Amino acid sequence: MGFLNIEKKKQAERDPVERVKDWREYKKAMPETEIREQAARCMDCGTPYCQVGVTLNRGTTGCPIHNLIPEWNDLVYRGLWKEAYERLAKTNNFPEFTSRACPAPCEGSCTAGFVSEPVSIKSIERAIIDRAFEEGWVAPRPPRRRTNKKVAVIGSGPAGLACADQLNKIGHNVTVFERSDRPGGLLMYGIPSMKIEKDIVDRRVNLLKQEGIVFKTSVDVGTDITASELRNNFDAVILCTGAGKHRELPIEGRGLAGIAPAMDYLTASNRYVLYGEELKPDFDARGKRVIVIGGGDTGEDCVATAIRQGCKSVVQFGKHGRLPDERSDKNPWPEHPNVFSLDYAYEEAEELFGRDPREYYIETQKFIGDKNGHVTGLETGSFLKNGTENKRLKHWDADMVLIAIGFQGAEDRLFDDFGINKDPSGRVIDAGEHSYQTSRDGIFAAGDARRGASLIVWAIEEGRKAAAAVDLYLDKKLSLLNQ
């Protein structure tokens, strides 16, 4: 009955005014006594919706990797931390990533949330994995035997890393190819350090290396090594390239300087934090009036990044309206709750500029520039609102505009090289739901490249399932599928 007697506590955060002065993680660790109290709020219900991992009403309900949440909640409550870690590691290859960057659909479907506040699952997960690293329980465990099978994984984001980890555990020889100069994919260059500090990513990659996985960075498959070379030198190839093709905004003035895709901006900013590389003018928000087009998480990360770079002001456009403060009748439990929240970037903007930076029902219609070809502003109208359409144009001043309106699936060239088809949304369409194999023998696809841009937990689940499918293809046995 802990969920009735113990109040839910959120993970503490650093003061917004202070944290915007650096690039370190904004969340603090929760003390052990509080974590154990929060774990006691778990109902250990008969049907734990927190771990079902399904799609309801176009949203994720429960944990896609099917973490055994009630089990490790109980172990934490009883102070059995190592056992809790072992239970967590059974289903999740990288809890240090999910506990920092996942939006926690498990909490949205927590049964306690039906009558009270949901369990602080994400905070408990982070406490478990952080303790595991501190105590040395997370250590290299190379496989006891090696097969004679060689597997190439293209892409080192969460799907590629999970796939490589699973295949390596059972002895296959795995090589991961990464186009960037460091492994990690979006974990390294897409997600800002305020959410995941990059030594967290490096720590896990180094563990994987010690376990025998080979990483080849700065290798652009299709240019530095061809698809045919990979197919000839490896028994199987898995495409885990993500869905990095950004959605464009082809309106008047798009070619002006000072307008950039959000992911290009975030990548440049992460490189600046890692290496101290000088930012190009189009990627430096210092002293600028910044507008972010797109109301999602990527747009929010752009807001937080621009604030840390010292922008003069920042506004974020969204095409939808403000979310309700409580669940609507059309969004019942156990669906993920589509409710209003003041997330980290918006809290920071309020503290610095005195207002939430989000604007709703905004449709950008054209960009405006000066005689030197640099953006100076834009004009907007309104999307449908309450059944009526407002055609009145509004002018906004801007020195920098970031486009964060989503992704159009995997980039074209690599898949053309392999002769693999994609649907109009950019997803690999001939990779089977269960086989993960494409129409090309021995070529598999997983993660955002296969299912479209999604959550980090879906990427890990895709990588794990693809590894099982590859192992079955290679050895014709159910070594992973039976785990």
Closest CA to 448 of 438, 433, 437, 459: 459
For residue 314, how many other CB atoms are within 10 A of its CB? 25
Give CA–CA dist 206/212, Å, rounded: 10
Residue partners of 181: CB distance under 8 A and separation at least 6: 217, 218
* 405 pLDDT more than 60: yes
The pLDDT value given to residue 386: 57
pLDDT of residue 478: 47
> Of all residues in the chain, what percent carry a pLDDT higher than 70?
95
| Model confidence pLDDT, tens digit, residues 235-268 | 999 999 998 889 999 999 999 999 999 999 999 9
CA distance 445 to 429: 10
Strands (E), 165-252: 173-177, 214-216, 236-239
57 burial type by CB count under 10 A (0-12 exposed, 13-18 middle, 19+ buried): exposed
Taking the C-alpha atoms of residue 259 and residue 288, their distance in angstroms, rounded to an integer, is: 12
Give pLDDT tens digits for 328-345. Answer: 999 999 999 999 999 999
**Is residue 178 within 8 Å of 291, Cβ to Cβ?**
no
Mean predicted lDDT score pLDDT of the chain: 93
Q: How confident is the model at residue 414 (pLDDT cuts 50, 70, 90)?
A: confident
413 — pLDDT class (breaks 50, 70, 90): confident
CA distances from 333 to 103, 125, 365 (A): 16, 22, 37
Query: Which pLDDT tens digit goes with each residue over 91-102?
Result: 999 999 999 999
Per-residue confidence band for 463, with pLDDT thresholds at 50, 70 and 90: very high
Q: Which domains does the chain have, with CATH numbers?
A: 2-135 (1.10.1060.10), 150-245+408-475 (3.50.50.60), 259-403 (3.50.50.60)
pLDDT tens column, 262-298: 999 999 999 999 999 888 888 999 999 999 999 999 9
Q: What confidence score (pLDDT) does residue 75 get?
A: 98
pLDDT at 385: 58
Q: Is 157 exposed, middle or buried (0-12, 13-18, 19+ CB in 10 A)?
A: buried
| Residues paired with residue 385 on neighbouring β-strands, in sequence order | 388
pLDDT digits (tens, 9 = 90+) for 141-197: 999 999 999 999 999 999 999 999 999 999 999 999 999 999 999 999 999 999 999
- 213-220: average pLDDT: 97
What would the pLDDT profile of 385-396 be if each residue is shown by its tens digit?
555 555 668 999
pLDDT average, residue stretch 429-449: 86
CB environment 9-29: b (16+ within 10 A), e (fewer) = eebeebebeebbeebebbbee
Mean pLDDT of 82-107: 97
Residue 95 φ/ψ region, left for φ over 0, alpha for ψ in the -120 to 50 degree band, beta for the rest: alpha
Please, which pLDDT band fits residue 1 given cuts at 50, 70 and 90?
Answer: low
Mean pLDDT of 466-483: 75
Where does 248-296 have alpha helices with state H? 262-275
- The structure's pTM equals 0.94
